[in-house]
């Protein structure tokens, strides 16, 4: 049977456990199956249990294709995992845990956990630096303090209105050059101070690149490292090549997804929704099967336990969530 090209083909293909295991094995161990504990390639295979055992007498580690990946300790079958990856890697506007749960026959709670683990695999980290024409911008997400009940506002310690209580996201976008599509890097930041934003730029943008920003003071003073030009949005939005339209379009796309799909998006998980969106954006010209394989190729070496996911949530934040977005 040919490798799947569509969701429907993926569902049929991965319903065969051997197909699912072989597919993950090929992506994970392209150089041959390796013991995740000691690195040995001398292994026994227990075919009936899809299980390997390390021949190294000091190790004897037993493992499956799930060991040491985002699938570890999950009672869900690979068939469900792989179809969930297919769906989230390719859902243009994201997909909610309710939808995944209904479509693949699991509880919303399981689906929520599955989605967060997959987003974790989508995290691209600090890959190569951006270069050429790069736009930098920051945006505020959710938390309209003025719409909150007075008690909620007080519980959160919010005084006044405006941007207080919102989450701040910082983004960089490398513009299209030739046949190289534009790509983005995004991150939740604690504030928009110079000492927060400038290190992010230095870390992610090659020196001597063209840097385009708005007139925010935090961006001032980088002339020695970058060719920096700013537009003051109070008077103009575009001056020839100088604008931040690319990253602003990215923000509107992200906010639309948050409003439309992740109505209950929690502030402490905002970063993982960003990872998901940025992954799809940066890989938007690939086909569904390619995006699927890219995510699946990143599942190893990543663990995310349920406890890690929920540990950050406090009562205060829970109150905040209800009013967010
Ligand atoms: Zn071993």
Confidence of residue 12 (pLDDT cuts 50, 70, 90): very high
pLDDT band at 179 (very low <50, low <70, confident <90, very high): confident
Q: What is the mean pLDDT of the chain?
A: 85
Asked if the model's pLDDT at residue 316 lies above 70, the reply is no
Q: Please enumerate in sequence order all residues whose Cβ is within 8 A of that of 240, keeping only pairs 6 or more positions apart, or say none.
A: none
Give pLDDT tens digits for 107-128. Answer: 999 999 999 899 988 887 556 7
pLDDT at 171 over 90: yes
Q: Is the pLDDT of residue 178 over 50?
A: yes
The Cα angle at residue 34 between residues 33 and 35, in degrees rounded to 5: 130
How close is the Cα of 42 to the center of ligand 1, in Å? Answer: 8
Residue 65 CA to ligand 1 center (angstroms) comes to 14
Give distance in angstroms: CA of 47 to centre of ligand 1: 18
Q: How far is the CA of 29 from the centre of ligand 1 (A)?
A: 15
* Residue, of 91 and 324, whose pLDDT is higher: 91
Q: State the CB neighbour count (10 A cutoff) for residue 152.
A: 17
Across 240-262, average pLDDT = 88
Residue 151 has pLDDT above 90, yes or no: no
CA distance linking residue 292 with residue 10, whole number of Å: 10
Averaged over 163-184, what is the pLDDT?
86
Rounded distance from Cα 225 to ligand 1 centre (Å)? 48
Q: How far is the CA of 56 from the centre of ligand 1 (A)?
A: 6
The pLDDT of residue 160: 46
What percentage of the chain carries pLDDT values higher than 70? 81
Compute the distance from residue 298 Cα to the ligand 1 centre, in Å.
Answer: 22
Q: What is the pLDDT of residue 312?
A: 47
* Ligand 1 centroid to residue 288 C-alpha, Å: 35
How many angstroms does the Cα of residue 36 sit away from the middle of ligand 1? Answer: 7
pLDDT tens for residues 215-243? 999 999 999 999 999 999 888 889 999 99
- pLDDT (mean) for 135-159: 63
- Report pLDDT for 71: 92
Whether pLDDT at 321 is above 60? no
Q: What is the pTM of this model?
A: 0.81
- 325 — pLDDT class (breaks 50, 70, 90): very low
Q: How far apart are CA 114 and CA 80, in angstroms?
A: 10
Average of per-residue pLDDT across 269-274 = 84
- What pLDDT sits at residue 128? 78
**Euclidean distance between CA atoms 82 and 17, whole angstroms:** 11
Lowest mean pLDDT among 162-166, 168-172, 301-305: 162-166
For 30, list phi and psi in degrees, rounded to 5. -65, -20
Residue carrying structure tokens 């931040």? 244
**What pLDDT is recorded for position 268?**
66
What are 29-52's pLDDT values in tens digits?
Answer: 988 999 999 999 999 999 999 999
Note the pLDDT of residue 167: 83
Return the number of other C-beta atoms located less than 10 Å from residue 105's C-beta.
11
Distance 269 CA to ligand 1 centre (A): 36
As a whole number of angstroms, the distance between CA 196 and CA 14 comes to 45
Q: Report the 3 state secondary structure along the chain.
A: CCCCCCHHHHHHHHCCHHHHHHHHHHHHCCCCCCCCCCCCCCEEEEHHHCEEEECCCCCCCEECCCCCECCCCCCCCHHHHHHHHHHHHHCCCCCCHHHHHHHHCCCHHHHHHHHHHHHHHHCCCCCCCECCEEEEEEEEECCCHHHCCHHHHHHCCCCCCCCCCCEEEEEEEECCECCECCEEEEEEECCCCHHHHHHHHHHHECCCCEEEEECCHHHCCCCCCCEEEEECCCCCCCECCECCHHHHHHHHHHHHHHHHCCCCCCHHHHHHHHHHHHHHHHCCCCCHHHHHHHHHCCCECCCCCHHHHHCCCCHHHHHHHHHCC
Distances (CA, A) of 231 to 73, 168, 219, 228, 249: 51, 20, 11, 10, 16
pLDDT of residue 270: 84
In the reported structure, the alpha carbon of residue 64 is separated from the centroid of ligand 1 by a whole-number distance in angstroms of 12
Distance 53 CA to ligand 1 centre (A): 8
Q: Which of 271, 307, 228, 237 is nearest to 119 (CA)?
A: 271
Which residues are in the CB-under-5-Å shell of ion ligand 1? 35, 37-38, 40, 54, 56, 59, 61
* Of the listed ranges 207-211, 232-236, 275-279, the one predicted with least confidence: 232-236
| Closest residue by Cα to residue 186 from 255, 115, 137 | 137
pLDDT the model gives residue 234: 83
């Amino acid at each position: 049977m040919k490798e799947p090209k569509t969701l429907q083909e993926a569902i049929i293909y991965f319903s065969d456990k051997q197909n699912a295991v072989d597919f993950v094995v090929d992506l994970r161990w392209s150089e041959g199956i390796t013991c995740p504990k000691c690195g040995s390639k001398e292994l026994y295979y227990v075919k009936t249990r899809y299980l390997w055992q390390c021949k190294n007498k000091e190790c004897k580690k037993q493992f499956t294709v799930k060991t040491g990946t985002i699938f570890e300790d999950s009672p869900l079958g690979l068939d469900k995992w792989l179809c969930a990856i297919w769906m989230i890697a390719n859902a243009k506007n994201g997909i909610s845990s309710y939808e995944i749960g209904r479509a693949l026959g699991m509880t919303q709670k399981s689906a929520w956990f599955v989605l967060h683990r997959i987003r974790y695999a989508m995290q691209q980290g600090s890959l190569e630096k951006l270069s050429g024409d790069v736009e930098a911008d920051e945006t505020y997400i959710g938390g309209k303090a003025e719409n909150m009940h007075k008690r909620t506002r007080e519980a959160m310690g919010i005084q006044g209105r405006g941007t207080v209580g919102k989450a701040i996201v910082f983004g960089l976008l490398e513009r299209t050059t030739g046949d190289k599509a534009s790509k983005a890097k995004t991150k939740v930041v604690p504030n928009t101070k110079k000492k927060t934003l400038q290190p992010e730029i230095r870390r992610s943008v090659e020196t001597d690149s063209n840097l385009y920003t708005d007139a925010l003071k935090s961006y001032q003073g980088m002339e020695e490292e970058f060719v920096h030009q700013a537009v003051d949005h109070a008077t103009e939005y575009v001056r020839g090549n100088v604008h931040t339209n690319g990253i602003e379009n990215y923000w509107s796309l992200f906010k639309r997804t948050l409003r439309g799909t992740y109505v209950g998006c929690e502030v402490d998980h905002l970063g993982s929704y960003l990872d998901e969106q940025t992954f799809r954006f940066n890989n938007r010209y690939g086909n569904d099967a390619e995006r699927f394989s890219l995510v699946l190729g990143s599942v190893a070496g990543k663990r995310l336990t349920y406890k890690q996911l929920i540990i950050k949530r406090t009562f205060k934040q829970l109150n905040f969530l209800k009013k967010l977005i």
